[in-house]
Amino acid sequence: VIIDIMRRRQLPKRVRPACAKIRGARFPPSEEHEEEAINTPPQDANDTPHEEVNVQAISVSPSTLKVSKPRSDWNKSDMNNAMKDVEDYGYSTRAAAKKWGIPATTLTSWLMGITTTKRKGPPTILTDEEEMEIVSWCHEMADMGHGLEIIQLKTCVAQICETRSNPFTDGFP
């Protein structure tokens, strides 16, 4: 079907070679392949397995085709191994980053001590223990049949934060 459409020139010239490459056809098609493609009935999806292509995101413009890269594919052990390679074995930052699949700037930040966790965003105001304490209090209140309003939750957070500096306006979240 694609070859028949290309022969009739219903597709613009710049699209025809791309379609031919995608479908596995030759462009321009040879006589034997052209006749074979025209006389062959379309196959069911269950007849033969097709090659699947895994693409995360594509943005197409007239001049370029971009495929975005996956982000944050490394883990803490990869970072520790890369840091060990640089500090103990004399690897360059870029070589260790490439070996372990970590961005070079990220590895540099970790080596300089600028970053020590993989967490994104600003630091939290409450510690993990304080947050878990508030969550358990909310669950206890719900088990007793008392629903909490937002103002009650904010007052609880304000009481916890009143002994230290916090970014809240007037100390109230």
pLDDT in tens, 121-155: 888 888 889 999 999 999 999 999 988 899 999 99
- Helices 93-100, 104-112: inter-axial angle, 10-degree rounding: 120
According to the model, what pLDDT value does residue 139 have?
A: 93
| CA-CA-CA-CA dihedral for 133, 137, 142, 146, to nearest 10 | -150
Query: Residue 161 and residue 126: Cα distance in Å, rounded?
Result: 8
Name the β-bridge partners of 65.
Answer: 60
- Helices 76-89, 93-100: inter-axial angle, 10-degree rounding: 150
H or E element at residue 147: none
Q: Is the pLDDT of residue 119 over 90?
A: no
Q: Is the pLDDT of residue 1 over 50?
A: no
Angle 79-127-106 from CA coordinates, rounded to 5°: 20
Question: Domains of the chain: which residue ranges?
Answer: 1-41, 76-112, 128-171
Mean pLDDT of the chain, nearest integer: 74
According to the model, what pLDDT value does residue 146 have?
A: 87
Q: What is the pLDDT of residues 48-94, one digit of tens each?
A: 555 555 555 555 555 566 666 666 688 999 999 999 999 999 999 99
The two three-digit tokens of residue 97, written as one number: 């980053």
Nearest CA to 91 out of 107, 106, 76 is that of 107
pTM above 0.85, yes or no: no
Q: What would the mean pLDDT of 22-34 be, rounded to a whole number?
A: 50
Contact 150, 159 (CB under 8 A): no
- Look up residue 97 and give its amino acid: A
| CA-CA-CA-CA dihedral for 104, 110, 111, 112, to nearest 10 | 110
The two three-digit tokens of residue 60, written as one number: 């197409």
Measured from the Cβ of residue 52, the count of other Cβ atoms closer than 10 Å reads 5
Q: Which of 17-21, 104-108, 124-128, 140-144 has the lowest mean pLDDT?
A: 17-21
| Bond preceding residue 28 cis, omega within 30 of 0 | yes
Q: Is the pLDDT of residue 6 over 50?
A: no
The two three-digit tokens of residue 83, written as one number: 């840091």
